[in-house]
Structure 1
Amino acid sequence: MHILIFFLLSFLLCIPSPCSPATTDTLLQGSSLSVEKPADTLVSANGVFSAGFFQVGDNAFCFSIRFTRSKQPTLVWIANRDQPVNGKVSKLTLLKNGNLILSDAGASTIWTTATFSSSEVYLMLMDNGNLVLRASQGIVLWQSFDSPTDTLLPGQPLTEKASLISSRSATNFSSGFYKLYFDNDNVLRLLFNGPNVSSVYWPPTWKLPVDEGRSTYNITKIAVIDPSGHFTSSDTFEFYPSDYGVKRYRRFLMDPDGNLRLYSFNEETSTWEVSWQVIPQPCTVHGLCGANSMCTYDPFVGRTCYCLQGFKIKNPNDWAQGCEPEFTTHRGCNSTGFGFVHLPRMELFGYDLEVIRVTNLTQCENRCLELCDDCQGVQLKFNEVSTYNCYIKTILLNGRDSPNFDGDVYLKLPKSTILSLKVPQKHVPLKCSANLFQSLGRTYQDSKNSTWLNFLLWFACGIGVLEMTCIFFVWFFLFRSSKENDKGERQQLLSATGFQRFTYSELKKATRGFSDEIGRGAGGIVYKGKLDNNRVAAIKSLISETNQGEAEFLAEFSTIGMLNHMNLIDMWGYCVEGKHRLLVYEYMEHGSLAENLYSNALDWNKRFNIAVGTAKGLAYLHEECLEWVLHCDVKPQNILLDSDFQPKVADFGLSKLLNRDEGANSGFSRIRGTRGYMAPEWVYNLRITSKVDVYSYGIVVLEMITGKSPMGIHILENKEGMDQRRLLTWVKEKMNADGPTSKSWTEEVADPNMQGKYDPDKVELLVKVALRCVEDNMDERPSMSQVVEMLQFPEHS
């Protein structure tokens, strides 16, 4: 095998490459920029920006755009940030067919625009820093402004298909852990996406978007900064920098420390100055100090990290890796062997196994001891009803010193460790990431150095081609049967389980490297893909909370695969390889109900049919299928619409699967669902039954009728003036304003987008059914089969 690789590389070296001329601001068709020629750069006409190869490590280069007027050229865009090329033979080439490619050492293609044009094309670096690939007619085939890395320049839009991802550090330009993006609620957010965990940290997740002045009622998903520094976003978020109105060069940066900053260029000092930042308290950024550590801020020292007592740092050069125990990691359930260390005025955000109300600290600590290894510590916080909230922590993450925090942390440790504790050193220099430069480990020999070497290389090429031909025939005849056997096994699996097993490489190819994202939620990310049989599919990459093995995964989802109803999404297959867990569904042409609800796409007949079809799908899950299935997250995002706008309930397979005889005693380890659609049982820790789905369904129906979000605040006009109400209260008071027999209230609650084109009797029917579904007492709610009957046969209800 090593000989074959040598011959193959030798053969590739035998192919000569054309010379490439240096250029100014334009790269013509058929030309290249070489990594070995520093003069091979594109320079904008105003001389402010340049594009070329930039060294990011030992023998490692990236093709980038740089702002050149600063003391040190500033990177504003990188083509191949996660896959640097070698310092020999690598090139950026504009091919004759209109495709722009970046090749590593003249061999493999690392990056491409995947464009094509039958006419003349050229690549130009504009005065605003945008690298544009145009056809001769002026048509833009590709531009760097559409695919930002960590920086937005004035006039460059941030859209739902693009995001800002921080660098790993100030010296390591590969993709880091922090991301600015638009979520499924159309809100601009900051996400910590670490190696093991992820969490949103801005805007604060405990607040509703409306409380932060955000709007979820938009479909554009776009944000942009203008030359004066004014930033505007479609979710109504905006800001003005401290130097607003002054004409300066600016860049909007997702920094490696998780903060979002606007930088303005100082012409006198040739340096960048911060003119705005989104996070005023540095330690509120998630993931900076890693697990088992605390972040603290000192005005003189700056932001620092330190390990919790009983823990030691994993890597002094990279605090993001956190700290590890100095004691034996296996703790067991010997409650007498453990105690608690009080950490006053400290906060640990997130990763709560459960939250319980207690009257004193002892109750909280005892609950932690009962949970054995599942509890690493507790956080005690006074609540509004003269008791305490006890937060059981499964992971000690996002810790920070917070003098204004009205709670304390109690760290669970072996008593032997507590006796030997020392006061932690709090001011340790913070290094969010190490410098990960490394050599690519390749050397190249110039073929002009020796005629004898040329002869050997050509001879090796001939032998290599012969050997490759032989190996091909051996592989074709000997291993063809094994592939047929594998295909037979997969067909047998398809017959036995009702769905197909895919390989990870198949799904990666089908989604073009998971490039076309069409949805994102707590359970995973959904991509659009095209399978080998030309069927268009929705492929969901799951975010698994457990290290579930293949047998357990198949056992659970084989049940889901056998569920069959016209109003449930059809699952075609799955993939389990290593850490990868993927599901393959049918693709729905019109997306989700959430995407269509606030547009003119849904008339009254479509809305009523969606209400009936969704009810039928949930009734099947609750009462007709082989297993009793709770969805637990019924919302518009999980109701998909096919080409005829027929509804299909999705993500039901990710809920709790229960046997019928377990329904009365079902228990859940944590709250499930989405705020605004969750039944009261979740909040008050009551018995969970299928009635939680009935409640969520009722809220969705009210949202469909009114066109108003259950999370929004709605104005109610009455004799006393104008009041603010939540959706459920707003509908009830509108309905009762003119008496139960009057139908004028239907005009008040009907979505204005329907422009009065609806059946008042059916609106009244839907509202009354929905209000029965959202009764606080679960026993007063109908079953989903009763809902179907009330909607289809109202005269019998």
Structure 2
Amino acid sequence: MKLTERLEVRIELQEKVKHEFSLKPEESELSKLFLLNTGNILLLDEGQHNIWSSNTASNAPLELYLKDDGNLVLRELQGTTILWQSYDFPTNTLLPNQPLTRYIKLVSSRSQSNHSSGFYKLLFDDDNVIRLDYHGDVLSTYWPPHWLLSSEAGRFNYNSSRIAMLDSFGKFFSSDNYSFSTYDYGMIMQRRLTIDSDGNIRVYSRKNWSENWYVSWQVISDTCIIHGLCGENSSCSYDSKKGKKCSCLPGYKVTNDSDWSYGCKPMFDFTCNRNNIFKCYTKLHLMNGRYSPSLIGEIYLRLPKVGGLECVCFFVFLFINKKSSEDKHSHHHALGFRRYSYSELKLATKNFSNEIGRGGGGVVYRATLSDQRHAAVKRLYEAKQGEREFLAEVSIIGRLNHMNLIEMWGYCVEGKHKLLVYEYMENGSLAETLSSKTNILDWSKRYDIALGTSRVLAYLHEECLEWILHCDIKPQNILLDSNFQPKLADFGLSKLKNRNNLNNNSEFSMIRGTRGYMAPEWILNLPITSKVDVYSYGVVLLEMITGKSSTMMNIEGDDGEVAYNGRLITWVREKKRSTTFWVEEIMDPSMLNNCDLIKMEILARVALDCVEEDRDIRPSMSQVVEMLQSRDRELE
């Protein structure tokens, strides 16, 4: 079929083969396609509104030609110049011998009746591997499985040609070594490969136009593997005879009876009790819950007890790799984070040129992601210790949710390269701000930082089902957002311990932490408990109060000579013991004229309680929160 000059054609969307002009249901009726003498193709709806354009231009005589293979081509009548072809712009479907390349991705429809863009994409990633992504509330890859390396999934990543194609006989092959043959392979038939609205890839076949399409191949048999099908706060179960079944978690009800992708909503109030605000930071959503008898794992959710404020626990099975206890790579892949390629992060960090921090676990760089978000990318050292820290941070952060915890957006693990992608904190770390000569923290900000940090530590120690120690609390690991609210970061040294085995130090194979902030238990080989974080927190408080370093200090007297050289804790204790106005003498001079001395003394006393040599005398972090909040309310 040829269209020359300015001819008008009705587009009948009866077939499911669609190209770049993917229309909403209300736009498909009476839509018209125009070829202008300027060389541009226009698609107009009934009201003559421009829905789509090829954005091409030419003064030469042109033709719009529909080839027998289904490719719609705009070309010059004289010569071989092709200005535009629909094969370069598929939406959800590939025809036989139509290539999928590095520049092309298939995007599913929203539903069988709504042909606007949906949640699923088929594309080649920067590792040269063809994959399926879910783009819903979170970004995640569900095929090939997260926990498998490319080689373990039977894929090659050294072939950079990035091309995949379905041939006329029903054979699909990809440059990454993935291939399959349809059930009716060998017969020349009408075929199409489609990413359906449920996120699955299917090949449809039929002998001629008068017959209905039938499924001759399906990439994923257990559809519960596909992310987002049942929505949030639900679980998916699969039966080979009955197919998938979505069900809400106990305490939840379905949000939309006609569309499970909306998930389930709670039948209880999520509102926090403001008197116990540090207990209110549990996760609000369960994503991609899955039940399968062959896979072992459980997750605990807290729900309000009927008629009261107490919580009860239940568990549901979810998708965890069966070998998770054996395979160190498997336990962190189903967390819902974005998995970045090394080349993506290399580009985002401008070849790792903008360093903003450095620690024992790695170097942190500022980055601008492809969606223009600013991020902090932590590049772990290549040593064995760096790999352990990587696994620790990814697994731990995936279980946590608190307003004073740094948010992790994604990760990268490619051979020797291991990186973490975090939200970027505009005001850097507490250490940088305390040492700054221009950006001085006033009293109210310091008090808020102290309170926010105590809340998140109380959450880690007492509100999680497992006992989580940070093990490296220091100003460098307390980041500040645009409002100077604290965000605890760097879980590379963190440790999860069984609450029933708190006195077993065998889980700690080496001393952890930073000089000046480490509790005596580390040196004396005493049992390690949450009180080690309490001690480090107390040291940080003293630094915020005094503006001085925790280690060896040179403190000048009135005559300008060095009056004291020693540890910060010892100096503060001596001031308290020998001077009536000890708080005024230890506090940062920049705060003398604009601070609340009563609250400052409360903060200083709490700090000294936290750094007691005897761990049994130190308060718990929840007690610290109560002391700071109750005094705050009394003074208000």
TM-score of the superposed pair, with normalisation by structure 2: 0.47
Between Structure 1 and Structure 2, the one with more helix by share is 1
TM-score of the superposed pair, with normalisation by structure 1: 0.38
